[in-house]
Structure 1
Amino acid sequence: MTQSNQPFSRIIGTGAYLPARVLSNADLEKMVDTTDEWIFTRTGIRERRIAAEQESTCDLAEHAAREAMANAGITAQDLDLILVATTTPDLVFPSTACLLQARLGNQGAPAFDIQAVCTGFVYALDVADKFIRTGAARRALVIGAETMSRIVDWQDRSTCVLFGDGAGAVVLEAGDAPGILSTHIHADGRYSDLLAVPAGISCNSARFKAGEAYLTMKGNPVFRMAVKTLGEIVDETLSANRMGRGDIDWLVPHQANIRIIQATADKLGMSMDKVVVTVDHHGNTSGASIPLALHSAVRDGRIRSGETVLMEAFGGGFTWGSVLLKWA
C-alpha cells in the first residue's frame, strides 16, 4: 500500500466514567497535614474521584468504552483492536484489555494493555493509528483507565493530594480524510527513580505482597523535566506538520498540575480559554486524564469540526508524547 493510499484514523466517538465518591481538599485536610489553599495554589486541584472498594480498573474502562461505542454508533463486534492504557491493571494477567473484551462481547480482535503511565493514552493512540494506517484494523477502541488510589500512600501528603481514579475512551475509524495528523512518543529510562512505584513481581516483591507498592515522586525534578520535555514535544509536533503556534485551536493536555499546563500553553502562546482543564475536578488520573478531558470538551461543544487539537502528556519512565489531530 503506497503512502498516498493509506487511510487516516479519526475519532468517531468518545466516552468517560468517574467513580461516584468525591474526595475534596477539605476531606484531605482531615487525613493529612495539608490545606485546601495549599493544594489548590500548587496544583489547581479541588477534588478527585475515588473508586469504590469493589470497583476495578476494568469496571471503569467498561463504562467509558460502552459510552464511546454508543456515541460512535458501533457494537463490540465492529472492533478490530482493543487497547487499554493503564498503570493499575486488574490482574498481573490476563490483561485488562482481554478482561474488557470478554465483557463487551468481542471475539478475535487483538486486545492488550499499554503501560506508559501518564503518557499511556498517547502511546495507545500512536499504536492504534499505525494499525489503521497500515490496514491492519479498521476500527479500534482505545481506553485510558486508572485506579491510582490503590497505589497512593494516603499518609504521604506530597502525593496523595494529586491523584484520582477514572476512565476515558475513544473509538477510532479508518477514513480518507484526517483525522490524526501525527503522533510523537519518547522515553528516557535514566530518570526512572524520580517517579515510580518501587515494587513489583520480580523486584522488591515483598513490598508488593505486603500491599506496600506505593507511588513515590521527587516533585521538583519531575516538574522541571515535564516542563522541558513538553515544550520540546510542542516544537517537534509543530515542525513535523509545518505549523505555527497559532494553527492550534485547542490544547488537551495531561491533567497533572495546573502550573505544567500553563507552562505548555505559554509555549504555544495560547490563551487558557483554549486549553481544556479538568484537573480541578479529576486530579491526576494518569492515563485516563487526556480522554476524560477530551470527552468533556467534545460533549459540551467546545471542540468543533475542522478544528486542530493538540494532546500532550508526560509520565513516569520518563515517557512523553503528543498527538495532533483535525477534529472530524
Structure 2
Amino acid sequence: MNIKITGTGSYIPDTIEKNENFHQHQFLNTDGSEINHPNEVIVDKFKAITGIAERRYAKHHLTASDLGFFAAEKAIANANIDPETLDYIIVSHNFGDVKHNTIQSDILPCLAARIKHSLRIKNPKCVAYDILFGCPGWVEGVIQANAFIKAGIAKRCLVIGAETLSRVVDKHDRDSMIYSDGAGATIIEATNDEGGILAHESASFTYDEAYYLFFGNSNNQDLCRDTRYIKMDGRKIYEFALSNVPSAMKACLDKSGIDIKEVKKIFIHQANEKMDEAILKRFYRLYKTDIPEGIMPMNIQKLGNSSVATVPTLFDLVKNNKLENHSLTKGDIIMFASVGAGMHINAIVYKY
C-alpha cells in the first residue's frame, strides 16, 4: 500500500491587485511616523526583495471556506471519487472566515464543517476539522492524513489550505503588500500504485520564536487600538528560515533514502522570492552540490503569499502544466517544504 495524492484542485481569485495600486497608500512606521520615501520607492524596493508584482484578492462576497469549497470540488473531480467515501476533511487556515469590511473572524462552525456542508456530503463518519499551523498548515494536513491512513482509520482524505489574508492586513504597513487570497485542495488516499509519500519531517520552534508572526495594532496610531492585523518581524523570520528550513529538508530527504540528485522539483511555501532562493542555496550547500536548473517552481510574482494555499496551488498548477517551463513526469521525486507562524517548519519527500 502506498499513500498518494490522487487529485488536486485550486481556486485563484480573479481580482488582480497590482503593485501600482499601492502608490496611493499611506505607509507608516510601526510608531506611526511618516516613512521618508515616496511610495513609488517603497513599492519598488518591496518588489526587489519579495519578487511580488501582483497578488489576488477574493471577491467581496466570498470567504475562505468558499474558496476552499471551490478548490475541493476540483480536487474531487480530478480524483474521480465519490465525496461520500471521504473519511476526513482537514482544512488548514489562519483566520477563519473574515467577511469583507468586517474585523471579526468566524470559525464557528469550523471551516471544514462548512466545506463539507457545501459539498453536500451526508456521511456523518466523514470527520471534518480544522488545523491552525501557520503557513505550513496544508503540508501538516497531508502528514496527518498520511498518519490516519497508515493507522488504518482512514482510506481517503481531503486536505485543503484556504485563506483570505487581504481581509486582515494593515493598509498602513508595507508588509500588507505581501499577502493574498487563494485555496488549494488535494485528495490523499491509499493506492496500489507506485510512489507516494516517502518521508516527512515537522518541527515547532516556540521558545524564542513563537511571536515572530502575530496579531497586532495598525501602524496608524489614530485607528482603533482594539482592532488587530497580521504583523511580522520580517528580519527575524528571514534569519530563522535560513537557519532552520534547509536542515529540516535535509533531515526529511535523508530519512527517505533518496539521493539529492534524484530530486526533480522542490515546492517551497511562496513567502518571499529572495528568502526561498536563499533556502534552496543553503539546502544544496549541505550536500555540497550545485542547484539544478528549474528545480524550484515559483508563482509568488503573480499570486503573492496566500499562506496555507501557496504550496497546494503551486503543485496543482505545475501538475496541470499551467506554469511555464515546469512539468511533472510519473516517477519524479519531489519535495514540499514550508515555514510559518509558530514558528513551524515541515517537509515531505514524495514520489510522483
Q: TM-score by structure 2 length? A: 0.85
Q: Which runs of 5+ in 1 are unaligned?
A: 1-6, 200-208
Q: Does the 8 Å CA contact 2:13/2:56 hold for their aligned counterparts? A: yes
| Partner Cα distance (2:78, 2:332) in 1 | 19
Structure 1 residues 169 and 210: CA distance shift in structure 2, 3 A: farther
Q: Does the 8 Å CA contact 2:93/2:130 hold for their aligned counterparts? A: yes
Aligned to 2:306, which of 285, 310, 327? 285
Is 1:141 matched with 2:162? no
Partner residue, 2:177: 161
Partner residue, 2:75: 68
Structure 1 residues 19 and 240: CA distance shift in structure 2, 3 A: same
Matches within 5 A, 1:36-75: 36-75=43-82
Q: Does the 8 Å CA contact 2:72/2:160 hold for their aligned counterparts? A: yes
| Partner Cα distance (2:9, 2:226) in 1 | 32
Matches within 5 A, 1:1-328: 7-33=1-27, 34-35=39-40, 36-90=43-97, 91-106=106-121, 107-108=123-124, 109-157=126-174, 159-176=175-192, 177-190=194-207, 191-198=209-216, 212-266=227-281, 267-268=283-284, 269-300=290-321, 302-327=327-352
Amino acid at match of 1:277: M
Q: Does the 8 Å CA contact 2:12/2:56 hold for their aligned counterparts? A: yes
Q: Does the 8 Å CA contact 2:241/2:279 hold for their aligned counterparts? A: no
Amino acid at match of 1:263: A
CA positional deviation for 1:265: 2.2
Q: Does the 8 Å CA contact 1:148/1:285 hold for their aligned counterparts? A: yes
Amino acid at match of 2:292: S
CA positional deviation for 1:193: 1.9
Q: Does the 8 Å CA contact 1:262/1:272 hold for their aligned counterparts? A: no
RMSD after superposition: 1.7
Amino acid at match of 1:195: L
Q: Does the 8 Å CA contact 1:13/1:72 hold for their aligned counterparts? A: yes
Q: Does the 8 Å CA contact 2:246/2:280 hold for their aligned counterparts? A: no
Q: 3-state SS of the aligned residue for 1:105?
A: coil
CA positional deviation for 1:235: 1.3
Amino acid at match of 1:288: A
Amino acid at match of 2:130: D
Q: TM-score by structure 1 length? A: 0.91
Amino acid at match of 2:332: E
Identity %: 28
Structure 1 residues 64 and 244: CA distance shift in structure 2, 3 A: same
**Range moving further from structure 2, 297-306 or 287-296:** 297-306
| Partner Cα distance (2:226, 2:302) in 1 | 28
Q: 3-state SS of the aligned residue for 2:161?
A: strand
Q: Name segments (4+ residues, structure 1) moved above 4 Å.
A: none
Amino acid at match of 1:81: Y
- 1:280-319 deviation per Cα after TM superposition (whole angstroms, max 9, x unaligned): 1111110010001101100107011100110000001000
Larger Rg: 2
CA positional deviation for 1:198: 4.5
Q: 3-state SS of the aligned residue for 2:6?
A: strand
Q: 3-state SS of the aligned residue for 1:98?
A: helix
